[in-house]
């Protein structure tokens, strides 16, 4: 390898690194704003404040505990932090006390909401109770440990640890001596340490795993505009069309399954759910998580069974309206719509196992260019007598009016289209339509899982648009 080649490769590496960091700006913004700042969580006031108190209380306590550990003899030979000292130590004690108090208030709010208020969309499992008990015991034992230290030493700065000092005064009122407090302090210290280690060890096996999974999902979730569906590149050569087995889901999708905390916010926003349909985006994600975990645990080189029809009903993906309300509300950036589309793609493009009504609609789009199967020559019936200019190849207009199938064939929408044309004329807008060259946009087929049909229509429309000239496009589709 020459020196010039080595230098070129190093430059290429740094260029790629710089480009990657530059393009990762939105992910890091989401991380600091939503994972750290809890902005999405706070959009619901009560649970938002509750979670904010627990999150920041625990975060500050963890950082403070690490600082305390750095002062112990075990670490001093390697590193001894110069912080906190003097007045900063007083501030440190106050902040740690307030953080512990915040955790207790947050846990009390969570317990009240979960066991007393019991909102319909909030499901309580054993690990919810386990987490709340553990999160309550850690600061309680911590404050007890602190109070023993204050009783044993009676420092002049005790008032800077208000909760610990209040508890210390309570023990003194019961007649506790400094010697007794000093003896109990060691037991309380190890009890506090044991509870902390138990919390750490339980993270992978309980709901507490969201402490790690949500920040990762916030950073690595696909950055697409709301409502945008991921394209299948080189669809004619793609080996996997949709997702029907555990191994078909991408790594980011599997991560999103683990990030879901079953908070129910998506369910509260889901129109299919509150209209009475047997569908919940929360249940879908939780069922997919269970199915993929079972499949991955039993993976031994054999082909895994299909998820649809076993773990999830074949009808489930079709109840979703793909409106994306669940995605907007989710504080963990989980996108159930992506999973719905992939499951539909698998049924439509791979297994062919779908309801007859679905097949009929897709066949209508393919043959007649609209979901209802109406004659293609009737697409311009709504414009009869209006004298709307039809744009010919090579001609130009300021505004291209692309109405779409619903306004071309639905009787109610036809009236809207006619009124809109009259409105544009009164406004003096230079507009025209494509006439018989207009075809279906293919979005209905795409949301029903037929990505190939959508791409065919998209290519046709691109070719049609390239033959005319316009500055703007207005669509009611």
**135 Cβ partners below 8 Å, 6+ apart?**
54, 58, 103, 107, 199
Sign of the CA dihedral 136, 263, 56, 58?
positive
**Cβ neighbour number for residue 291 with a 10 Å cutoff:** 22
pLDDT of the chain, 477 residues: tens digit per residue: 455 545 555 556 566 555 655 566 788 888 899 889 999 999 999 999 999 999 999 999 999 988 887 777 666 656 666 778 889 999 999 999 999 999 999 999 999 999 999 999 899 999 999 999 999 999 999 999 999 999 999 999 999 999 999 999 999 999 999 999 999 999 999 999 999 999 999 999 999 999 999 999 998 888 888 888 999 999 988 888 999 988 899 999 999 999 999 999 999 999 999 999 999 999 999 999 999 888 877 756 555 678 888 889 999 999 999 999 999 999 999 999 999 999 999 999 998 888 899 999 999 999 999 999 999 889 999 999 899 999 999 999 999 999 899 999 999 999 999 999 999 999 999 999 999 899 999 999 999 999 999 999 999 999 999 999 999 999 988
State both tokens at 13: 């590496």
Position 49 scores a pLDDT of 96
* Cα 286 to Cα 466: distance, rounded to the nearest angstrom: 45
Return the exposure string of 129-144: e unless at least 16 CB atoms fall within 10 Å of the residue's CB, then b.
ebbbebbbbbbbbbbb
* Cα 92 to Cα 104: distance, rounded to the nearest angstrom: 19
* Cα 228 to Cα 215: distance, rounded to the nearest angstrom: 23
> Dihedrals φ, ψ of 170, to 5°?
-65, -40
Pairing of strands 431-432, 469-475: unpaired
* Cα 394 to Cα 468: distance, rounded to the nearest angstrom: 5
**10 Cβ partners below 8 Å, 6+ apart?**
none
Position 15 scores a pLDDT of 64
363, 465 in Cβ contact below 8 A? no
Q: Cα dihedral angle (103, 104, 106, 109), rounded to 10 degrees? A: 170
Element (H, E) at 472: strand 469-475
Position 371 scores a pLDDT of 92
- Kindly give the interhelix angle for 45-69 and 126-153, rounded to the nearest 10 degrees: 50
Position 397 scores a pLDDT of 96
Instruction: Tell how far CA 212 is from the center of its chain.
Output: 14
16, 10 in Cβ contact below 8 A? no
Q: Identify each DSSP E strand in 171-238 by its residue range.
A: none
Query: 400 forms bridges with which residues in the sheet?
Result: 432, 473
* Cα 176 to Cα 226: distance, rounded to the nearest angstrom: 62
pTM beyond 0.75: yes
Identify the residue whose tokens are 């950036």: 333
* Cα 53 to Cα 42: distance, rounded to the nearest angstrom: 11
* Cα 65 to Cα 87: distance, rounded to the nearest angstrom: 19
349, 323 in Cβ contact below 8 A? no
Position 5 scores a pLDDT of 47
Query: 308 forms bridges with which residues in the sheet?
Result: 312
* Cα 263 to Cα 280: distance, rounded to the nearest angstrom: 12
Give the end-to-end CA distance of the chain in Å, rounded to a whole number.
Answer: 58
Identify the residue whose tokens are 């309206």: 321
**468 Cβ partners below 8 Å, 6+ apart?**
391, 392, 393, 394, 395, 396, 397, 400, 434
Element (H, E) at 52: helix 45-69
Tell which residue, 329, 363, 340, 335, has the closest CA to residue 453: 363
Residue 84: cis peptide before it, omega within 30 degrees of 0:
yes
Q: Looking at residue 390, what DSSP letter applies? A: B
Position 417 scores a pLDDT of 93
């Amino acid at each position: 390898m020459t020196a010039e080649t080595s230098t070129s490769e190093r430059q290429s590496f740094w260029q790629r690194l710089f480009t990657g960091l530059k393009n990762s700006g939105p992910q890091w913004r989401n991380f600091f704003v939503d994972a750290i700042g809890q902005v999405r969580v706070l959009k619901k006031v009560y649970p938002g404040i509750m979670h904010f108190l627990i999150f920041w209380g625990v975060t500050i306590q963890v950082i403070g505990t690490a600082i305390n550990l750095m002062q112990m003899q075990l670490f001093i030979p390697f590193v001894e932090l110069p912080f906190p000292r003097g007045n900063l130590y007083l501030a440190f004690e106050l902040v740690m006390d307030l953080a512990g108090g915040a955790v207790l208030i947050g846990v009390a709010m969570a317990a009240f909401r979960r066991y007393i208020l019991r909102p319909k969309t909030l499901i309580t499992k054993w690990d919810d109770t386990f987490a709340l008990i553990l999160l309550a015991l850690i600061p309680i034992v911590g404050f007890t440990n602190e109070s023993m230290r204050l009783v044993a030493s009676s420092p002049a700065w005790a008032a800077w640890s208000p909760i610990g000092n209040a508890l210390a005064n309570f023990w003194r009122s019961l007649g506790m001596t400094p010697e007794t407090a000093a003896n109990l302090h060691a037991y309380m210290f190890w009890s506090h340490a044991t509870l902390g280690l138990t919390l750490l060890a339980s993270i992978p096996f309980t709901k507490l795993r969201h402490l790690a999974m949500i920040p990762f999902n916030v950073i690595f979730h696909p950055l697409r505009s709301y409502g945008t569906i991921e394209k299948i590149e080189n669809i004619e050569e793609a080996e996997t069309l949709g997702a029907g087995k555990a191994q078909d889901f991408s790594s980011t999708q599997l991560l999103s399954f683990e990030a879901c905390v079953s908070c129910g916010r998506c369910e509260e926003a889901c129109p299919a759910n509150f209209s009475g349909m047997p569908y919940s985006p929360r249940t879908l994600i939780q069922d997919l998580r269970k199915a993929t975990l079972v499949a991955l645990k039993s993976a031994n080189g054999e082909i895994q069974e299909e998820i649809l029809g076993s773990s999830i009903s074949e009808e489930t993906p079709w109840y979703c309206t793909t409106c994306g309300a669940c995605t907007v509300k989710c504080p963990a950036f989980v996108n159930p719509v992506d999973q719905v589309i992939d499951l539909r793609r698998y049924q439509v493009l791979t297994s062919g196992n779908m309801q007859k009504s679905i097949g009929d609609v897709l066949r209508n789009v393919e043959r007649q260019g609209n979901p209802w199967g109406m004659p293609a020559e009737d697409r311009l019936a709504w414009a009869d007598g209006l004298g709307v200019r039809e744009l010919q190849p090579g001609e130009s207009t300021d505004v291209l009016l692309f109405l779409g199938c619903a306004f071309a064939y639905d009787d109610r929408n036809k009236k809207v289209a006619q009124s809109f044309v009259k409105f544009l004329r009164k406004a003096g807008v230079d507009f025209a339509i494509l006439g018989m060259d207009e075809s279906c946009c293919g979005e209905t087929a795409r949301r029903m899982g037929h990505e190939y049909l959508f791409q065919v229509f998209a290519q046709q429309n691109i070719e049609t648009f390239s033959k005319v000239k316009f500055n703007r496009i207005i669509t009611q589709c």
